[in-house]
Amino acid sequence: MATHLPVIGGHAEGFGKTQRSDGWWVGPGITFAVFSTFIVYTTWAALQGNHYYTDPYLSPFYSPLIFVEPNSLAHGGAPVDMAWFGMWPSWFPHLIPASPAILILVFPGAFRFTCYYYRKAYYRSFAGSPPACAVGPLTIKRKYKGETSLLLFQNLHRYAMYFALVFIVLLGKDAFESFFRDGQPGIGVGSLIMTINVVLIASYTFGCHSFRHLIGGRKDCMSHCGKETIALGSFKQATWFNSRHMQFAWMSLIWVMVTDLYIRLCSMGVIHDFNTWS
Ligand code: FES
């Protein structure tokens, strides 16, 4: 039906067409570059199976250690007694590298991949559909059907979040243990890097939309007779982290790479860890 009202909104149609004159492509471009670097580096590091440990530092990509290949000890691997279930199993397919990281990275990987913020970021930067507000899509224009068919798995985010909470505990334990070498308390640059890593990952996780919903967002009222309850206080804390979710998403993503790289270079003898033990 024809309307006499003026049309508000809309944008130029067509591949990358827009009337915007600002640098709308900078955000998606940086996202593409950083995210691609992360995927390439993480995949490479996870497949190495070596130089992920130097006492008392364990790379976050390899924690927790489920099984350990004993021969990796000579190449920067962890001792077998650090693994939850001991030696790398002989029944494991030989085509897959004997790397403890490949057994666990699916959990934090799934958490990031299905994150509400990252979805927006990589839908824009990788699919370009659309790459930014008021810019024509870079891919074939299709009717948006929500995350129902192809993207149905994105709804698993809340379950990935439960695993992410466990990883905070595991990485927190690693960070704590990084202040002890052979039972001697001390501190090294690696201890600080690992501690910052778990703080950033926890800050990212506590700002998760699913986490915020879990601890209170699903309720209509959290105060009691006008008084603040623990639930309301926790919800406010989660809201603080939630409003900074994008910042913590990027900081924790980059820092976890830095942490692995630092431990890897120390383990290879390329750099020296300044610490109070040596
Ligand atoms: S929404 Fe980003 S981690 Fe859950």
> Mind listing the pLDDT tens digit for each residue in 73-88?
999 999 999 999 999 9
> For position 63, what pLDDT does the model report?
96
Distance from residue 154's CA to the centre of ligand 1 (Å): 11
Residue nearest (by alpha carbon) to ligand 1 atom 4: 208
Q: Which CB contacts under 8 angstroms, 24+ apart, belong to 117-124?
A: 117/245, 117/246, 117/249, 118/249, 119/154, 121/28, 121/31, 121/35, 122/31, 122/35, 124/27, 124/28, 124/31
* Tokens of residue 205, six digits: 């996780």
The answer on pLDDT for 256 being more than 60 is yes
The atom number, within ligand 1, closest to the CA of 111 reads: 3
Verify whether ligand 1 is closer than 6 Å to residue 162 (CB atom): no
Domain ranges of the chain: 26-207+244-268
Average pLDDT of every residue of the chain: 89
- Centre of ligand 1 to C-alpha 206, Å, is 9
More confident residue, 72 or 147: 72
* Cβ(194)–Cβ(57) below 8 Å: yes
171 within ligand 1 shell (Cβ under 6 A): no
Mean pLDDT calculated for residue range 58-75:
95
Strands (E), the chain: 53-54, 57-58, 180-181, 184-185
> Which of 210, 241, 250, 253 to mutate for ligand 1's pocket (most ligand atoms within 8 Å of CB)?
210
pLDDT above 80 for 175:
yes
Confidence of residue 150 (pLDDT cuts 50, 70, 90): low
Phi, psi at 52, each rounded to 5°: -110, 0
Tell me how far apart the alpha carbons of residues 241 and 243 are, in angstroms, rounded to a whole number: 6
Ligand 1 pocket test: pick from 168, 208, 213, 242 the residue with the most ligand atoms within 8 Å of its Cβ.
208
Q: Taking the CA atoms of 197, 199, 201 and 203 in sequence, report the sign of the dihedral they define.
A: negative
269 token code pair:
């003898």
